[in-house]
Structure 1
Amino acid sequence: MRIGLLIIAIICLQLTGPQPLLAADNYTYYGTEDNAPILPRAIQNIEISGLKKTQPRTVLRELPFSVGDTWQESDKATGERRLRNTGLFAEAIITPPDRDGLVHIWVRDRWSLFVLPEASRSDIGKTSAGIAATEHNMWGLNHNVRLATREETGKNFTGVKGTSFSGSYLWRRINDGPLSLSFSGNTGQRVFDTFQNGQLYSQYREQNVSWATQLSMAHGPVPGEGWGSLLGFSSSLSSFTLMSGPPSTTVIAKHRNAIQAGVTYQLIDDNITWLTGTSFNYTWDIAHRGLGSNLNVYRQTSSFSSHIPILDTGSTFDFRISGGGATGSVAQDGLFDIGDGRGLRGYLPGELQGTYYVYSNLEGRIPIKPGSNFQLVGFTDVGQIWNLGRRALDKSVIVGVGAGARLTLRWLVNGTFRTDASYGLATSNWRFYFGTSQAF
């Protein structure tokens, strides 16, 4: 009987075949840990190292994850990009959660106090010199404080014709939320130039007191990523005293109160020495007697910019399209002026003034070697501005072409220094510009 049962058991095993291995015996070998897929893991803790001045909450509020979340493969790239975009860190590295669910973040603070001498010289109109001190990381919370003074001088910086003082404060992310609030003010005297057909016409001494406030709201996950909106109010009281030249009927004492509203979009990856991504903004500014102004002026401005990588070395093709218009009782000091180092290069302030404008900037930015802090730049700026229907400089189109260089100090907030040389085809003159950060 027992022999019969044994024979039956052997026959059953032969018919069913070998049994599969248990799940615990199945495994896949990966050559390196980087090749292995990241399995969903709960984040148990977040550890931050490398902070010198910045508060931990300033880091945590920018992250796409928090304790208790399940780690996503995109969290590393998104988190590092957002931390770089604050401008506070020379480096930001995030490691996925380990076996204990610990996410480690390593950052390196940049120096945030920036004291910069400022000067401008023009062969038409005024020259000026001053100094500005900016703290980009007040309280370690990425708040911004700026104090500046400027002296308006005669030709080649001789004589003092006016002194002004200005200050501003930007409170980023109130209570770590989507709202930010800014205040600014200015008082003192400055030289105000009037121009006709791009030539100096007269000079005034302007006495001015002004202030402004603006509330902005991020509609994306963090400020500066996705859509945003803004609402502001400004007030300015100005009087003018003729210093030289004939009087101008468009220079009037004014009390200008205005409201501002706008919408923004931004998706930028700030790689410290180069940018990729796009940004857009549209702003509407209304000054009206109903707000206490002695004139009615309606202004609209808009711009779109894009930074497109063309090589893996950090080279980019960058372009911007800008436009604006003003209607109503537009006084001389309310004209748009697009001739400068951040507008249409190759021209001086005063040469391109008007009530309607459109222009485009095209740039190629090429590092001298991959990962270099030094870039060479070639650019072409094309546009036009109209005043009372008349084109600037009696040209159908205004063009500036030139080249420049950018040097970025990674350890310094806003540490990109810019120099450009541009030739204005409409005036056959070279203009030279020095400043900080990219032109756009």
Structure 2
Amino acid sequence: MFTRFAPSPTGLIHIGNVRSAILNWAFAKKNNGKFILRIDDTDNERSKKKYEDLIKNNLHWLGLDWDITFNQSSRHNLYEEKIKILKDSKRLYPCFETPEELSLKKKSLLSSGKPPIYDRSSLNLTAKEIKQKISEGIKPHWRFKLEDKIIKWNDLLKGEVSFDSKKLSDPVLIRENGSLLYHLPSVIDDISENITDIIRGEDHLSNTAYHIQIFEALNSNIPNFAHHPFLTDEQGKGFSKRIGSLSIESLKDEDFESITILNYLINIGSSNDLVAEKNIENLIKNFSLKNISSASPKFSKEVLTNLNKNTLKNFNVHEVSSRISVLDKKLSQEMLWKFSKNNINFFSEIKFFIDIIKSKNNIVNNNINSDFLDVAIETLPSEPYDEETWEKWTNLINEKTNLKGKELYLPLRIALTGQDKGPEMKYLLPLLNKQNILEKFGKI
């Protein structure tokens, strides 16, 4: 089995693009196949190396490893070889209409209530007429002649799909300037790399009808196709890399975990439960094309954020140790992680809790009874502190003051953290010593 992902390096890759990449990658991995990354950079003007590099970096970051990668811009000789075959077999034919002439034809057909299908008038040109136009400096574009028949395939997601070729225009495969449109190099590369399964968005359905006939014209086996519904935003609109909407780069900058995004996109729009997962192998194991729904899934930032929060809770301290050391090298990593992990949506928010741990003089601007603080200092257990210290300490304060519940815990929390809510306090005390506590109480 060979699958592929074929992005154009003309902008930032967004979650809609990446969902297709993930589905192809997971399908290959689940079936012990190969995943190919093809860079569709035949558009010289709009293709940029910086976007190609970002695409590769984003895929690597997400954990999508590919077995083969190549650029279409390096395959002109292969394309020319196949173009000659199609021209010799009369399946590619030259057309000389200008964009304005084609637009007028389209308007005329629509005004007559007819579908805007190309009339194949260029097929009536004689060899002499074609030679004359070329000698006059008129450069042709080239169309692929569709055979008049029903084009059908058994789609892995949609079931049987069919198109009547009589209701389709012969697609343009080569522009006037000689550059290739998407269809031809895509099919040629799929043949060259023995692609067996193509999973892509349902906007490609009519393209697939064209591609099947091109496969046949080149005497090739036809891959399996699966067309998945669009991923939309919460308003039901599609995403666009041209405006950078929800690019992987932007989600990365917002500090989402890569495994969170991978988990979300592999399961959204499927019958699988969306639960926190930190193991890529488990995501692959649970993946099945059969579970993908026919309805368009809607992306939810809120759901993604909540999934990120739950994913972080699943990490043990060893899995985040190197990242913690970047933020702080002195505090106990184990206790810092216990103190913060259940209260963060994003890993970078740990910095807030490090600041809380290191805060001083928290009673300023907080109306905390000085007698209460004196009792708290008097009853403070001996160092070193552990996870049992909080309960021992509050029990001793209770014995001295008869305070309990909110009246006991809230002023002590505020004095220690400057906050009226937050993580479990039993995890804070092992991160402190007596001097730290006195500094927080404003006694030093």
Q: TM-score, normalised by structure 1?
A: 0.21
User: Which is helix-richer, 1 or 2?
Assistant: 2
User: Which is strand-richer, 1 or 2?
Assistant: 1
Structure label with greater radius of gyration: 2
